[in-house]
Amino acid sequence: MESGLVKLPALGHTLERLGPQFKESLKAFWAPGLWWEELDWAYMGVIDGHNVRAVRRAVREALAAQRPVVVHCATIKGKGFAPAEDGGLEGMEKWHAAKPKSIANGAPAPAAAAPAGAATPPPAYTQVFGEALVREAQRDERVLGITAAMNSGTGLNILQRELPERYFDVGIAEQQAVLLACGLALQGCRPVVAIYSTFLQRAYDQIVHDVCLQKLNVTFVMDRAGLVGDDGPTHHGVFDIPYLRCLPNIVLMAPRDEAMLVHMLRTALTYDGGPTAIRYPRGEAVGVPIPDEPSVIPVGTGEILREAGNGVTSASHYSATGRGSARHSLPPTFWPTAGWR
């Protein structure tokens, strides 16, 4: 049949040239493990990941093989729990990490009623950032939001809902998120890359070579900075200060409250000297009023909040307003005095 096709007038030469590629594409489509077999790896799949017996059988066979083996299992996120399984992306995200007592009798547990007269808790930093980013995007059409499969966890779901054309999710590919931001920044956009602190380190090479050395106006927003409680040790954002502070041309910021977070976001998006990064913790903010119109903070200055004894000064960097306190040109790094403990 193949020899007959290549003899067809007009089409024969094309079929002869493209035929082998088409044949390999068909093989790959019908036999997904062919690529592994060509590398001399054994391939087993696709295995129903919810069928424990099938998975155990496949693992036993793989262990018995005298060669590298890929066991390909397919699962459904939230399998067996209808709100997660049938709720689409929103349901999967909501039940990604169910908390204790959040499920009762196979259904979502009713929310506990707040005690009578209880004060309304402050908003989470994540929510404050998401809402502030929408306002910044409405103010400046160059502002865009980018994440790497951390939609609601970074607050970018708010931007997705309000301005979907300005929202980008590249999937679990932090390096691609940073490189996308670089390309957009080179075209005059003001990209905001929102990624958990612990996962931003996956894109360290891109941050160094493609952002900092090029002095591109990319803003990194690191959610889950510091210890994160229930999220566990893999999510503790405790390394971003040392791994970013040593890089050239980048401005690092850490807000003391939700109002300062809003001011810092405005500052980052109006700063033209290169990349900026903002880190904030998981959970509720402090509870201070959020400004209607953010201020641009003078980078590298600080605000004396309280004078203390023994030569120790309580200071806040990157102050938005004096608020009655004296403004000082403080160096961006403090070192404890000799008597500090």
Q: Look up residue 337 and give its DSSP letter.
A: -
- The pLDDT score that the predictor gives to residue 29 is 60
Residue type, 41: W
Question: What digits encode the pLDDT tens for the residues 110-123?
Answer: 877 777 777 889 99
With both helix axes pointing from N to C terminus, report the angle between 258-270 and 125-139 in degrees, rounded to the nearest 10: 30
From the list 327, 306, 326, 325, the residue with the least C-alpha distance to 315 is 306
CB 211 within 8 A of CB 218: yes
Alpha carbons within 13 angstroms on the beta-carbon side of residue 320 total 22
From the list 53, 46, 101, the residue with the least C-alpha distance to 75 is 46
Q: Catalytic residue numbers?
A: 77, 174, 202
Q: Measure CA 328 to chain center.
A: 35
From the list 309, 316, 315, the residue with the least C-alpha distance to 337 is 309
Strand partners of residue 304? 315
From the list 146, 160, 136, the residue with the least C-alpha distance to 194 is 146
- Percent of the chain predicted with pLDDT > 70: 81
Radius of gyration of the chain (CA): 26
3-state secondary structure of 317: strand
Whether residue 45 is predicted with pLDDT greater than 70 in this model: the reply is: yes
Question: What digits encode the pLDDT tens for the residues 133-182?
Answer: 999 999 999 999 999 999 989 999 999 999 999 999 999 999 999 999 99
Question: What digits encode the pLDDT tens for the residues 266-305?
Answer: 999 999 999 999 999 999 999 999 999 999 999 887 777 7
Tokens 């193949």 locate to 2
Whether residue 341 is predicted with pLDDT greater than 60 in this model: the reply is: no
Contacts of 277 (CB under 8 A, 6+ apart): 219, 220, 221, 222, 240, 244, 250, 251, 252, 253
Longest dimension (CA), the chain: 95
**What is the rounded CA–CA span in Å between residue 204 and residue 88?**
32
- As given in the structure block, the two tokens for residue 339 are 């008597």
Whether residue 22 is predicted with pLDDT greater than 60 in this model: the reply is: yes
| Least confident window among 100-109, 127-136, 242-251 | 100-109
Whether residue 309 is predicted with pLDDT greater than 70 in this model: the reply is: no
Strand partners of residue 313? 307
For the segment 191-195, the average pLDDT, to the nearest whole number, is 98
In which band, very low, low, confident or very high, does the pLDDT at 196 lie, cut at 50, 70 and 90? very high
More confident residue, 91 or 141: 141
For the chain, the distance separating the N- and C-terminal CA atoms, rounded to the nearest angstrom, is: 85
- As given in the structure block, the two tokens for residue 259 are 């109002």
Return the percent helix, strand and coil in the chain, to nearest 5.
40, 20, 40
Residue 16, judged by CB atoms within 10 A of its CB (0-12, 13-18, 19+), counts as middle
CB 88 within 8 A of CB 80: no
CB 35 within 8 A of CB 28: yes
Strand partners of residue 251? 276
In which band, very low, low, confident or very high, does the pLDDT at 3 lie, cut at 50, 70 and 90? low
Question: What digits encode the pLDDT tens for the residues 55-74?
Answer: 999 999 999 998 999 999 99
What pTM was computed for the model?
0.75
Whether residue 187 is predicted with pLDDT greater than 70 in this model: the reply is: yes
Question: What digits encode the pLDDT tens for the residues 211-241?
Answer: 999 999 999 999 999 998 878 889 999 999 9
- As given in the structure block, the two tokens for residue 141 are 């059409």
**What is the rounded CA–CA span in Å between residue 274 and residue 151?**
25
- The pLDDT score that the predictor gives to residue 323 is 36
DSSP string across 23-54? HHHHHHHH-TTHHHHHTT-EEEEEEETT-HHH
SS3 sequence, 265-316? HHHHHHCCCCCEEEECCCCECCCCCCCCCCCCCCCCCEEEEEECCCCCEEEE
Whether residue 131 is predicted with pLDDT greater than 70 in this model: the reply is: yes
Whether residue 26 is predicted with pLDDT greater than 90 in this model: the reply is: no
The mean pLDDT value of the chain amounts to 84
| Least confident window among 5-9, 125-129, 259-263, 299-303 | 5-9
